[in-house]
């Protein structure tokens, strides 16, 4: 079991600081080479996104904290992509629910929290922007609790841990009275409260494709979590789609997310979130299976994107 691995998503209302938080974690976890120029807003440099003005593709990253790798799966910045949020919360073992310490929970906070609670996750609440002069973190925690109750969270979910942070200033703390030092308290909380992924690496491969990416050199890329088994570069796999179609293909290249890069590797095991190329016919919701055990994983309905709210 991959004990030194955590798969998380950061969910938030737009502008509550998701991009800033990920940038800060990347900075403090030392994933930048010394000579690498840090772009102002790392997760927003996607051409397609610029074109459409909203986040439509998931961009993932990972950081190392001590010997634990934390995969951070990006979630769409717009609630109209409801189906995608649903798929992402199914891929991770925990979510950080990021809430602005002044604004409090907003419509999209409610929407993404609902999806996370429905997926059975216990969110770690991060009250961000506590440096704001108008911040009211205590009240906002109460409002978050009310929201959990309203969304019928179970007892375990209601007992959520809270971290107070300024993603912009680069600190997090488990109590408002703690000194502001660095992001360590948040990283410690992730390790403490978010479970390591489950999945037996010795069983036949099952990997669910949760998002699709494109690369000018390798073409279509399927991204998802290995639910069980292992996947190797060059391995023969069967793409099973939810309609029951099965197609035998070969994995061309296998990647994991490291910092802001995709790094090639030979093999990956249950629990990891990986990207695979060479599978042109692949779609969201498909399962990659080993040929000797063709067993697609039941996935969420992808036909109707949920229209969550009107802006």
* Annotated binding-site ranges for GTP: 15-20, 128-131
Strand, coil or helix: 237: strand
- 167 near ligand GDP, rule: CB under 6 A: yes
* Residue number, 79 or 205, with CB nearest to ligand GDP: 79
- 131 near ligand GDP, rule: CB under 6 A: yes
* Residue number, 111 or 299, with CB nearest to ligand GDP: 111
DSSP assignment of 247-259 = EEEE--EEEEEEB
| Cβ 67 to ligand GDP shortest distance, Å | 28
CA distances to 29, 63, 148, 259, 260 from 33, rounded to whole Å, are 11, 13, 41, 10, 11
- 287 near ligand GDP, rule: CB under 6 A: no
The site for ligand GDP, by CB under 6 A, has a size of: 16
| Cβ 77 to ligand GDP shortest distance, Å | 6
Nearest to 136 by CA among 159, 144, 149: 144
- 69 near ligand GDP, rule: CB under 6 A: no
Residue found by looking up tokens 């796999």 in the block: 237
Nearest to 251 by CA among 278, 290, 220: 278
- 166 near ligand GDP, rule: CB under 6 A: yes
Using CB under 6 A as the criterion, what x/- string covers residues 96-115 for binding ligand GDP? --------------------
Residue 81 sits at φ, ψ, to 5 deg, of: -90, 50
- 136 near ligand GDP, rule: CB under 6 A: no
* Residue number, 103 or 272, with CB nearest to ligand GDP: 103
- Using the Cα atoms of residue 14, residue 15, residue 18 and residue 23 in order, give the sign of their dihedral: positive
- 49 near ligand GDP, rule: CB under 6 A: no
**Burial group, residue 117, by CB count within 10 angstroms (0-12, 13-18, 19+):** buried
- 7 near ligand GDP, rule: CB under 6 A: no
- 15 near ligand GDP, rule: CB under 6 A: yes
Length of the chain: 311
* Residue number, 167 or 183, with CB nearest to ligand GDP: 167
- 28 near ligand GDP, rule: CB under 6 A: no
């Amino acid at each position: 079991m991959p004990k030194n691995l955590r798969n998380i998503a950061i969910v938030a209302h737009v502008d509550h600081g998701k991009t800033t938080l990920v940038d800060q974690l990347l900075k403090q976890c030392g994933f930048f080479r010394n000579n690498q120029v840090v772009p102002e807003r790392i997760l927003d440099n996607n051409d397609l996104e610029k074109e459409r003005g909203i986040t439509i593709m998931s961009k993932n990253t990972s950081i190392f904290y001590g010997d634990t790798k934390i995969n951070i799966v990006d979630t769409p910045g717009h609630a109209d992509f409801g189906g995608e949020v649903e798929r992402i919360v199914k891929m991770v073992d925990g979510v950080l629910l990021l809430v602005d310490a002044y604004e409090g929970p907003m419509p999209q906070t409610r929407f993404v929290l609902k999806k996370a609670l429905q997926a059975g996750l216990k969110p770690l609440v991060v009250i961000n922007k506590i440096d704001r002069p108008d911040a009211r973190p205590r009240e906002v925690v109460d409002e978050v609790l009310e929201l959990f109750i309203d969304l019928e969270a179970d007892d375990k979910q209601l007992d959520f841990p809270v971290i107070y942070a300024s993603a912009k200033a680069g600190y997090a703390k488990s109590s408002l009275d703690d000194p502001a030092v660095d992001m360590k308290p948040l990283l410690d909380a992730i390790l403490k409260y978010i479970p390591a992924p489950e999945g037996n690496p010795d069983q036949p491969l099952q990997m669910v494709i949760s998002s699709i990416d494109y690369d000018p050199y390798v073409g279509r890329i399927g991204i998802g979590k290995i639910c069980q088994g292992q996947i190797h570069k060059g391995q023969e796999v069967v793409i099973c789609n939810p309609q029951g179609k099965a197609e035998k293909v070969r994995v061309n290249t296998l990647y994991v997310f490291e910092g802001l890069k995709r790094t090639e590797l030979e093999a990956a095991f249950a629990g990891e979130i990986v990207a695979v190329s060479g599978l042109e016919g692949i779609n969201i919701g498909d399962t990659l299976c080993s040929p000797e055990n063709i067993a697609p994983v039941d996935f969420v309905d992808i036909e109707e994107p949920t229209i969550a709210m009107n802006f």
